[in-house]
């Protein structure tokens, strides 16, 4: 896979890519939005558990009742919770997750704060029966420091571009051509969330609370992606 500089031009062509269904990192349709009055949440589609209740927690929780919790956890510890989500984009909480990066401050979903865009490399276990490492490169990943986790967007565009297939029953991703396992996920907190199994089982800060009903997908509009693309093109790699 190419360097991020070869992939940021995708933003300026996102409208064409979304229509052609060949983009790896942008979804095929916008999700229905729901408002979270209790947590000043972002409007996102919950592709991980299908819930649309107003009690759901958004990708970033900024209510005063959670400020102490967020401040305590927003230390130098890296968040290793990579959750399978829907939506238009992958995203990462920590700057340290990126191997290439361009700073491009903006907002998506109307109010979700993005600081930059880059490439993330993840070493994942292939399956419970095969613990060998599968290296996944995610391009055009949004840096969202207020996120409660990291998100890998699993949508038809992503799957089609990568020749991936998904088995929801055992939560595994496989090569659609060879049917060889690529990586898999385990149920997280029994809340309908699927957490990808990383090689070596790294541990760090975790922001997802048991019993929470989260809306973790990022659904950026075409206009927001075009604005982001223009900012990215004017930035140098850091």
pLDDT-derived band at 29, boundaries 50, 70, 90 = very low
Domain for residue 70, yes or no? no
Confirm whether 114 is domain-assigned.
Answer: yes
pLDDT of residue 152: 95
Q: Strand 57-58 to strand 133-143: parallel, antiparallel, or no bridges (unpaired)?
A: unpaired
Look at residue 141 and tell me if it is in a domain. Answer: yes
Average pLDDT, integer, range 130-148: 95
pTM of the model as a whole? 0.70
Residue 3 has pLDDT above 90, yes or no: no
pLDDT at position 57:
63
In whole angstroms, what separates CA 201 from the centre of its chain?
19
Does residue 120 contact residue 99 with C-beta atoms inside 8 Å? yes
Lowest mean pLDDT segment, chosen from 32-36, 200-204, 217-221: 32-36
**Which is more confident, 156 or 131?**
131
Digit-coded pLDDT (tens) for 81-118: 999 999 999 999 999 999 999 999 999 988 899 999 99
Query: Above 50 in pLDDT, residue 38?
Result: no
Question: Rounded CA gap, 163 and 91, in Å?
Answer: 21
- pLDDT for res 31: 37
Residue 102 lies in a domain: yes
If you search the block for the tokens 């089609």, which residue do you land on? 160
For residue 228, pLDDT beyond 80: yes
193-218 mean pLDDT:
91
Query: Which tens digits make up the pLDDT trace of 53-89?
Result: 344 566 664 332 343 344 444 434 899 999 999 999 9
Query: Is residue 67 domain-resident?
Result: no
pLDDT in tens, 140-196: 999 999 999 999 998 766 544 467 888 877 789 998 888 899 999 998 877 789 999
**Is 59 part of any domain?**
no
The half-sphere exposure of 13 on its side-chain side, counting CA atoms within 13 A, is: 13
12, with CB counted inside 10 A (0-12, 13-18, 19+), is: middle
Instruction: Write out the residue range of the structural domain in which residue 226 sits.
Output: 76-236
Tell whether 156 is covered by a domain.
Answer: yes
With respect to residue 26, please indicate whether it lies within any of the assigned structural domains. Answer: no
In this predicted structure, what is the pLDDT of residue 4? 31
User: What pLDDT is attached to residue 56?
Assistant: 54
Domain count, the chain: 1
The pLDDT of residue 150 is 98
């Amino acid at each position: 896979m190419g360097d991020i500089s070869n992939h940021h031009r995708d933003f300026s062509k996102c409208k064409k890519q979304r229509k052609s269904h060949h983009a790896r990192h942008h979804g095929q349709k916008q999700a229905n939005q729901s408002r979270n009055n209790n947590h000043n949440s972002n409007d996102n589609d919950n592709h991980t558990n299908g819930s649309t209740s107003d009690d759901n927690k958004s990708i970033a929780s900024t209510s005063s009742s959670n400020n102490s919790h967020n401040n305590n956890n927003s230390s130098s510890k890296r968040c290793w919770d990579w959750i399978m989500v829907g939506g238009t984009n992958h995203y990462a909480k920590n700057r340290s997750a990126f191997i290439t990066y361009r700073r491009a401050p903006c907002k998506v979903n109307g109010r979700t704060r993005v600081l930059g865009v880059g490439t993330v490399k993840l070493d994942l276990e292939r399956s419970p029966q095969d613990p060998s490492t599968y290296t996944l490169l995610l391009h055009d990943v949004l840096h969202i420091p207020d996120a409660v986790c990291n998100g890998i967007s699993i949508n038809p565009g992503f799957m089609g571009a990568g020749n991936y297939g998904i088995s929801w029953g055992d939560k595994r991703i496989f090569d659609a051509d060879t049917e060889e396992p690529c990586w898999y996920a385990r149920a997280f907190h029994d809340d309908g969330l699927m957490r990808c199994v990383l090689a070596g089982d790294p541990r760090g800060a975790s922001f997802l609370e048991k019993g929470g009903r989260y809306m973790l997908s990022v659904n950026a509009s075409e206009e927001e992606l075009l604005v982001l693309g223009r900012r990215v093109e004017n930035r140098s790699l850091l």
